[in-house]
């Protein structure tokens, strides 16, 4: 996967992409990350990239010329890859969107700053808009890192355990089961006996039940879209009956 990141602050990315899974993915040629400073395409003497908003009001707006010039000089016109604007007004980023993006060979991520980009960038250059949540960040760099990280994990060969993404939270519509490691007893708190039993069928059942219960307790909204078996529905019905009985 080839990522082109357009930003006014490329230095934000450098330390994050130099460690752990993303660094290994780059070393092994599975992810190529190219950072482009939009300011390099500002043609005036002071490399100005922002200007006051038409209509007045506070804040500055990113000018269209350097953004168009940056994206088109790297990706051509029209751009030969999806151009994704990070914006709190975009569609919400989820694991399903990460999977969708991981199928492309190349992606461009465009980071806004100030009040955002001139609307003509959104209308005539950008092909997708993504928000990482219902809050406002100072710039699109953190959001681009979130997208870059979640997508890179899904690329074939990136994770040591190729089945890991399929077991993570949100992969199958449920939250993942709890994890434990050594020691078996810590401050008197024991690791559940089943996990130490060596009985793989029992462990798998316990993990699935924990995953289902966690989702039911913490994110019941996810259950409506999760593929549940008859046994899952029966378990949920039992927990709901127990909850009603507890509440009297
Ligand atoms: N004035 C804009 C608005 O109300 O929609 C917010 C601008 S924000 C201060 C500056 C930049 O941060 C945005 O252009 C966008 O690139 C990025 N940003 C902020 N919140 C974001 C979010 N939740 N998801 C993705 N990008 C975000």
CATH number, domain at 239?
1.10.1270.20
> Does residue 200 share a domain with residue 144?
no
> Does residue 196 share a domain with residue 122?
no
- Tell me, in angstroms, the distance from the centre of ligand 1 to residue 245's CA: 46
Q: Is residue 163 part of a domain?
A: no
Q: Whose CA is nearest to atom 6 of ligand 1?
A: 115
Half-sphere exposure of 59 (CA within 13 A, CB side): 12
- DSSP reduced 3-state for 97: helix
Residue 162: predicted pLDDT:
87
Q: Is residue 177 part of a domain?
A: no
- Residue that is last in its domain, among 107, 129, 152: 152
- Tell me, in angstroms, the distance from the centre of ligand 1 to residue 28's CA: 33
What is the distance between the alpha carbons of residues 93 and 133, in angstroms, rounded to a whole number?
A: 7
CATH number, domain at 123?
3.40.1280.10
Residue 91 Cβ inside 6 Å of ligand 1? The answer reads: no
> Does residue 35 share a domain with residue 119?
yes
**CB atoms near residue 219 (< 10 Å):** 15
Residue 248: predicted pLDDT:
87
> Does residue 229 share a domain with residue 125?
no
Instruction: Please list the ranges in the chain whose pLDDT falls under 50.
Output: none
Residue 99: predicted pLDDT:
97
- Tell me, in angstroms, the distance from the centre of ligand 1 to residue 112's CA: 7
Task: Provide the domain limits for residue 139.
Answer: 2-152
What's the predicted TM-score (pTM) here?
0.96
Q: Which residues contact 33 (CB under 8 A, 6 or more apart)?
A: 3, 5, 13, 17, 22, 26, 148
> Does residue 137 share a domain with residue 37?
yes
Q: Whose CA is nearest to atom 2 of ligand 1?
A: 115
pLDDT tens digits along 26-65: 999 999 999 999 999 999 999 999 999 999 999 999 999 9
Domain count along the chain: 2
Whether cis (ω within 30° of 0) applies to the bond prior to 183 is yes
> Does residue 90 share a domain with residue 34?
yes
* Residues classed as catalytic: 88, 115, 153, 168
Instruction: Tell me phi and psi for residue 163, to 5 degrees.
Output: -85, -10
Q: Whose CA is nearest to atom 22 of ligand 1?
A: 88
- Residue that is last in its domain, among 152, 175, 193: 152
Residue 137 Cβ inside 6 Å of ligand 1? The answer reads: yes
> Does residue 122 share a domain with residue 11?
yes
């Amino acid at each position: 996967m080839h990522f082109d990141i357009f930003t006014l602050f490329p230095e934000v990315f450098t330390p994050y992409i130099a460690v752990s899974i993303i660094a290994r993915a780059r070393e092994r040629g599975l992810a190529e990350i190219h950072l482009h400073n939009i300011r390099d395409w500002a043609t005036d003497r002071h490399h100005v990239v922002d200007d006051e908003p038409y209509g007045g009001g506070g804040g500055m707006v990113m000018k269209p010329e350097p953004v168009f010039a940056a994206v088109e000089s790297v990706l051509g016109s029209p751009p030969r890859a999806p151009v994704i604007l990070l914006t709190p007004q975009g569609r919400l980023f989820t694991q399903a969107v990460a999977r969708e993006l991981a199928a492309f060979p190349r992606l461009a991520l465009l980071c806004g700053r100030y009040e955002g980009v001139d609307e003509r960038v959104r209308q005539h250059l950008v092909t997708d808009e993504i928000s990482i949540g219902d809050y406002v960040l100072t710039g699109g760099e953190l959001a681009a890192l979130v997208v870059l990280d979640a997508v890179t994990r899904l690329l074939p060969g990136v994770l040591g355990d190729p089945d890991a993404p399929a077991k993570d939270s949100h992969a199958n519509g449920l939250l993942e089961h709890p994890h434990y490691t050594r020691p078996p007893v810590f401050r008197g708190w024991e690791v559940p006996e089943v996990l130490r039993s060596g009985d793989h069928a029992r462990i798998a059942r316990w993990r699935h039940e924990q995953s289902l219960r966690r989702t039911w307790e913490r994110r019941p909204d996810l259950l409506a879209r999760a593929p549940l078996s008859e046994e899952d529905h029966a378990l949920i019905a039992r927990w709901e009956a127990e909850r009603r009985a507890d509440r009297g």
